[in-house]
Structures are given as structure tokens and as C-alpha cells.
Amino acid sequence: MKLFRVGVLRKRYYGVLQKRFASVKTHNVDWNPMKSQKQLSQGIEFSGSFGRKVFFGLLCLAPIITFALGTWQTKRLKWKNKLIAECEDRLTYKPAPLPKYITKEDMPNLEYRKVLVTGHFDYSREVFVGPRLHNGIKGYNLICPFVQSNGGGEVLIDRGWIRDDKVLLNRRNLQHLSCPKGEITVECVIRVPPQKGTFSMDHEKGSRLYQYLDADAIAEELGSRPIYLQALQNFHDKPEWLKNEIEFQRGQLSQEAVEHQKKSKWAFWKTSSKDEKNLQTSSAPVPEVDFDTAEEFDPLQFINAGVPLGKIPRVDYKNNHLNYLVTWYSLSFASTVLLLYLFKTGKFLNPTEEKLKYARKIIK
């Protein structure tokens, strides 16, 4: 009986303790201690409200801004397509003589127009832009002043890429193609040179090497007109240029022979049999060449001989506006969906105010 009474007393005692010290059941939400509405209105509790407002404002503006940028890229795409179509159309025209009084302001309206210029190169003032790689081979773009025969002054002709060990004239082969002599006609395209970059280094005056193409600086230093042309790539032989080369060599040989005769006239007693033999050799006629056969060379032969590789007749404009257009419109759509989701779920609201609303419901 005693054991039974002790068990009953213990059970009653533990029941009283549980009722007295038991905790109040609350909702299973981990939240910070609440503060008064006055403190919330003063922004003490919600210290990051300004940053959230800025973020929310930018999120509201994002669909509008990105949609406007996408629309702007649409206009840019139409403009670039029209420009490329006009330039490709100009490439189909037959070459015409370069206008004598063409100016720098006329070049944008004539870009990629094929022209013919007649005159001669001034190889003493060649300049090089680079280095540039061509199929893994180091080289430079060769720019040479061209003196026009029609009195139009000098223009700059970009003859193309040349290997780095062929920049010197005496190292070039196929002289009638690598450095043609006399009056020749060159087929080129009119180009608007790129503008100097903001972070581009200034050119060192007196140097023949340019890190980037600055046609205005090159023209100013060489004393030529700022008209920039690119010679077209052509692997066919030029018999008429070879004829000029032969006539130039004949002229040099005849001039040397005349000078030698003048010297021998005043110093005939010093003339030896060896000098007479050299005179006969220098005055010997140059063998004739069949100019009706036009040979075509391989690009590798041009590279090894030091003949500049001209420009391939095609439009080089890049057109990435379609990619930009898709990117901006995609961002506009994504930001719109995100904004609607936040409005629907209410996650952009103040979390402390949400806790207060929930507390009021519990208290009631």
C-alpha cells in the first residue's frame, strides 16, 4: 500500500510541475524580437530599406531600358545591313580612274569603289604597319606613297602584307611585281581608314614602323594627301610591268655606258682590256620576253619572293547587331518575368512588416 501511495503522489507531483513550468506553444517560425510600429516607421529595424528600394527601382526600370536598347540595336542592324549591301554593290562596278580632286570627305560615299591609279611608287618613303601574322608567319602591311601622273598629287596605297625578312628592297625577288619601276596602273579600292583608339600609343616621329594604321599621321609625315587606297590581290603576272622593268634596266645600262665612255675619253690611256669587256657586257641588249603569256603565281611564291599580298575584294564590316538585339530583348523578357513573379509572391515587401501582420493575427 505504501508503494502504491508513493507512486500516486509522484504522478500527481510531476503533473503539477509540468502544468506550472510548461512553455507556451508558438508557431514554428524563427523570427527576431518585435519592436514597436514607431521604431519601424523610423527605420531602426529595417536598416537596409534604402538599398532594397534602389534595387527594386532598378528592377522596375530594367525591362524598359533593355527593351529600348534592343530597339536601338534593331535600327543599327538595319543601318549596317544597308551599308554592307551598298559596299558590296560598289564592288561589282568596273574600275574607274580615281577622281583627280577627290577629298577626304568624299571617301565615305565611295568606300569599296574600285579605282585605277596611274603613276609610280616612291620606295624611298615606304612605311610598315604591324607586326601582323599571316598563316602564322610574321610580317607587316606595306604602305607606299604613289605619285599620280595626272597631277592629282600623292596618295597612300596599302600594297598588302609582306614577310618581315623581305622589307628591304634588295631582298625582294620578282622585282617587276615586288617593286615595279616606271609608270604603272594599279587597281585599288577606296577605304576609310579606322580612327585612332583612345588608348593607342602615339607614333614616334621619324620611324618607318607604325603599331596601328593612322592614315592621317602617315600622310602628314610623308607629305602626301590623306587618301587611303588598298591594292587588290592579284596573282597574275604583269607583262607590262616586266616591260617597264626591262626598259628601266636598259636605261640604267645605257647611262652607265655613256658615263664610262666619258671617263674613257678623258683617260683613254687608262682603259684596259678588262674595262672594254665590262663595257661590252653592260651595253649588251636585254633578251626579249614574250608578253602575250601571263603566268599565274602561287600565294606561297609571292610570300617567298617578297611580293605584297593585296586585299581580297570583299567587305570587311562586322555585323553583330543581331546578337546584341537578341541579348537585350532576352534580358528585357527575363527581367519582366522576374518582376511579375516578385509582385505575385510579394517577396519584395518588408519582411518585418510581414512578421507584424502575422503577430497581430496570433494576438487576436
Q: How far is CA 31 from the centre of its chain?
A: 57
Looking at 41-50, 158-167, 179-188, 300-309, which range is the least confident one?
A: 41-50
What DSSP letter does each residue of 316-338 carry, written as one string? -----HHHHHHHHHHHHHHHHHH
Helix, strand and coil percent figures for the chain, each rounded to 5 = 50, 15, 35
Give the chain's count of helices (H) and strands (E): 10, 8
Instruction: Identify whether the C-beta of residue 157 lies closer than 8 Å to the C-beta of residue 143.
Output: yes
Q: What is the pLDDT of residue 291?
A: 39
Q: What is the pLDDT of residue 306?
A: 92
Q: What is the pLDDT of residue 284?
A: 43
Q: What is the pLDDT of residue 7?
A: 56
Mean pLDDT of the chain, nearest integer: 78
How many residues are listed for the chain in this entry? Answer: 364
Q: What is the pLDDT of residue 248?
A: 61
Pairwise pLDDT comparison (330 vs 285), residue with the higher score:
330
> What would the pLDDT profile of 113-167 be if each residue is shown by its tens digit?
999 999 999 999 999 998 999 989 999 999 999 999 988 889 999 999 999 999 9
> What would the pLDDT profile of 3-17 be if each residue is shown by its tens digit?
455 455 555 655 555
Secondary structure (3-state) at 143: strand
Looking at 67-81, 161-175, 281-295, which range is the least confident one?
A: 281-295
**Number of C-alpha atoms within 13 angstroms, CB side, residue 226?**
17
Q: What is the pLDDT of residue 137?
A: 92
Sign of CA dihedral 255, 256, 262, 265: negative
Q: What is the pLDDT of residue 54?
A: 79
Q: What is the pLDDT of residue 256?
A: 53
Rg (CA), the chain: 42
**Percent of the chain residues past pLDDT 70, beyond the cut:** 69
Pairing status of strand 209-210 against strand 184-190: unpaired
> What would the pLDDT profile of 213-227 be if each residue is shown by its tens digit?
888 889 999 999 999
Q: What is the pLDDT of residue 128?
A: 94
> What would the pLDDT profile of 227-259 be if each residue is shown by its tens digit?
999 999 989 888 777 776 666 666 555 555 545
Instruction: Identify whether the C-beta of residue 174 lies closer than 8 Å to the C-beta of residue 237.
Output: no
pLDDT at 45 over 70: no
